[in-house]
A and B are shown apart, each in its own frame.
Chain A
């Protein structure tokens, strides 16, 4: 092979920024909202106990706590919603991109030729909603592994299939 070292036009490189991200399955939003509601339902139970036992004999405290609960609940729901809207993934020819997070926004990119393997897992809740979690492992340890929750099961399988093929073809850089 002839040695080539032509200059790379950096401005013409494919940009991660321009990618259109795929949203997660709408059912996942439901799961998130239900999970948040369950958590806050739990807190409400705690509040009810507090209300009837009334240890401090200060009624305003009880109602104040309920108001705080309401505010936090609303905030939690809004956060869950935003989390859903912010999260997305994109498959490109040579890598997978994943963005997530509301307060801390993260975009992670893993090239196929650096992936070790990928797997799909489903918990009981995901099962009930027809969802699945896709995990991609690299040699970079847990901080660089990718985990996309809330994919439709069929879609997760398709992606896994695609990635597995790519990993096999890319030779893994090992």
Chain B
């Protein structure tokens, strides 16, 4: 039994003040940045005094808020609950039962590293608004907290039969914490080399970055327009208008590659910052990933919490022999994506290690291979061929005239892609689980164990019913997995089998 490290209300490390201050300042600046911009650019008629006064005021307000915040923030562990108290005017008290805690994750930015403190995020099962985070506590204290929580859960699991209901014994001990034994059974599986990092950066989704970039620029332009009464779109029109009509193509020719290049560079930098020196650990209870250049982030995924394994590879990744792996964990909907621990890129051996650890029987079980119905190709053709072409032709008709018919060239390609998509869809059933694989360019795969399934659904559209087809959906606590366009009889057989497996399996899904 470990000893409760925080029996009494404890404040965070005093370093936390810096982070709170930073947080408050960010909040203020986000609210007031337009005002600040006006101050900077629009100083006509204003003396320097009012300008400085404003900033002194701003700094004063932030500092006061931060100090108040810091001194009114306590956390402790009592009666099997992690308790957090904060607030002055509106007091908040958050109680998190320790056995509801999903994961205890650490974050360490440069400042954290400098002061040897970490930020702690605690994810809980269920109820939103109960997420619990500490800005900065000492490294040892954080580790003690995590070990205590994990030990508590382990002993509580074993002791649950004998201990009645809510009354859990081990927690009320009030001795101060002693340095305890660390988990020694961790081994490192994988470390991202700079070259790997480069490959991952290169194979990121640059179009998405471009989208974010555009959205950011447009949003930014909007705000600046409002603040400085400067009309961006008008300026743009002037530039484009002053150019002869043929020059539009020139601008497009220069602009699009420029945007793509910028996106590429930004993806690279982001990847480098986020995944620098990524280490993938196999721990006693699951996996742990530590990564980040300025902000070191440590996330862990316990094997029991992982609901399925998903890996994907883009064409570029396949060229490098890499894939990205996600390990979605059970969580409330509100916490959502945050809990999907993932590797942005790794190689076959790491994936095998994950599969082996999470689903040890997988490779010994005979599998039955199935495909999906050919009509899925028609659906793909409709959704990715006919509809977009119709929309594009409609939009561009006035601009391009009969040239708009050029979009029709997409149709045969789309048809071919649909056929390829159909052929790529495969699913393998075994006694204990399901594996799926699909995708032409982006190959996706999912590995699922039956006993992790929460509910089974069969869904048929009007068309599918006429063709005797159905979509089979397996809901897990970390999202759903769907097998589309399979014969109804097959879907029903799988449904019956999965229900049987769930209802007879004694293992806990979490």
Show the binding face of A for B, using Cβ within 8 Å.
8, 10, 13-17, 94-95, 103-114, 138-144, 146, 173-174
Q: Chain A residues near B125: list those with CB within 8 A.
A: 139
* Cα-based distance from A149 to B382 in the complex (angstroms): 35
B475 touches A106 (CB 8 A): no
Say whether B266 faces chain A, with CB atoms less than 8 Å apart: no
Residue from the set B333, B458, B479 with the largest chain A CB neighbour count within 10 Å: B458
Say whether B350 faces chain A, with CB atoms less than 8 Å apart: no
Kindly report which residue of chain A lies nearest to residue B476, judged by CB atoms.
A140
A13 touches B496 (CB 8 A): yes
Interface secondary structure of A, over-half rule = mixed
Q: Chain A residues near B460: list those with CB within 8 A.
A: 104-106
Interface-facing stretch out of B77-85, B252-260, B499-507: B499-507
B361 to chain A, nearest CB (A): 10
Residue from the set A112, A146, A174 with the largest chain B CB neighbour count within 10 Å: A174
User: What are 20 A-B pairs with beta-carbon distances under 8 A?
Assistant: A10-B497, A17-B496, A104-B459, A106-B459, A107-B457, A107-B458, A107-B459, A107-B495, A108-B455, A109-B495, A138-B455, A139-B509, A140-B455, A140-B475, A143-B473, A144-B454, A144-B455, A144-B475, A173-B510, A174-B509
* Cα-based distance from A93 to B497 in the complex (angstroms): 15
Q: Chain B residues near A114: list those with CB within 8 A.
A: 453-455, 502, 509
B508 touches A173 (CB 8 A): yes
A14 touches B459 (CB 8 A): no
Say whether B322 faces chain A, with CB atoms less than 8 Å apart: no
Chain B residues 436-489 with CB under 8 Å of chain A are 451, 453-462, 465, 473, 475-477, 479-480
Q: Chain A residues near B457: list those with CB within 8 A.
A: 106-109, 144
* Cα-based distance from A146 to B456 in the complex (angstroms): 11
Q: Chain B residues near A174: list those with CB within 8 A.
A: 508-510
Number of interface residues of B (CB under 8 A): 35
Q: Chain A residues near B500: list those with CB within 8 A.
A: 8, 13-14
Q: Chain A residues near B503: list those with CB within 8 A.
A: 94-95, 111-113
Show the binding face of B for A, using Cβ within 8 Å.
125, 330, 333, 431, 451, 453-462, 465, 473, 475-477, 479-480, 492-493, 495-497, 499-500, 502-503, 507-510
B485 to chain A, nearest CB (A): 15
Kindly report which residue of chain A lies nearest to residue B496, judged by CB atoms.
A13
Q: Chain B residues near A110: list those with CB within 8 A.
A: 454-455
Q: Chain A residues near B461: list those with CB within 8 A.
A: 103-104
* Cα-based distance from A143 to B457 in the complex (angstroms): 10
B499 touches A111 (CB 8 A): yes
Kindly report which residue of chain B lies nearest to residue A99, judged by CB atoms.
B458
Partner of A138, one of B454, B496, B507: B454
* Cα-based distance from A138 to B462 in the complex (angstroms): 28
B465 touches A105 (CB 8 A): yes
Partner of A94, one of B330, B431, B475, B499: B499
B28 to chain A, nearest CB (A): 36
* Cα-based distance from A8 to B458 in the complex (angstroms): 23
* Cα-based distance from A48 to B364 in the complex (angstroms): 72
Q: Chain B residues near A138: list those with CB within 8 A.
A: 454-455, 475, 477
* Cα-based distance from A174 to B500 in the complex (angstroms): 18
B483 to chain A, nearest CB (A): 15
Q: Chain A residues near B431: list those with CB within 8 A.
A: 8
* Cα-based distance from A164 to B366 in the complex (angstroms): 38
Kindly report which residue of chain A lies nearest to residue B451, judged by CB atoms.
A173
Partner of B480, one of A14, A113, A143, A173: A143
* Cα-based distance from A173 to B473 in the complex (angstroms): 20
Q: Chain B residues near A144: list those with CB within 8 A.
A: 454-455, 457, 475, 480
Q: Chain B residues near A104: list those with CB within 8 A.
A: 459-462
* Cα-based distance from A104 to B451 in the complex (angstroms): 27
A53 to chain B, nearest CB (A): 33
* Cα-based distance from A173 to B476 in the complex (angstroms): 13
B330 touches A139 (CB 8 A): yes
Kindly report which residue of chain B lies nearest to residue A95, judged by CB atoms.
B499
* Cα-based distance from A93 to B337 in the complex (angstroms): 35
Given contacts A106-B459, A139-B454, 17 further A-B contacts (CB under 8 A): A14-B496, A16-B499, A95-B499, A95-B503, A104-B460, A105-B465, A107-B458, A109-B499, A111-B502, A111-B503, A114-B502, A138-B455, A140-B454, A142-B333, A144-B480, A173-B451, A174-B508
Q: Chain B residues near A143: list those with CB within 8 A.
A: 473, 475, 480
* Cα-based distance from A109 to B217 in the complex (angstroms): 47
Contacts A16-B492, A174-B508 given; indicate if A140 touches B458 (C-beta within 8 A).
no
Q: Chain B residues near A106: list those with CB within 8 A.
A: 457-460
Residue from the set B453, B456, B509 with the largest chain A CB neighbour count within 10 Å: B456
B457 to chain A, nearest CB (A): 4
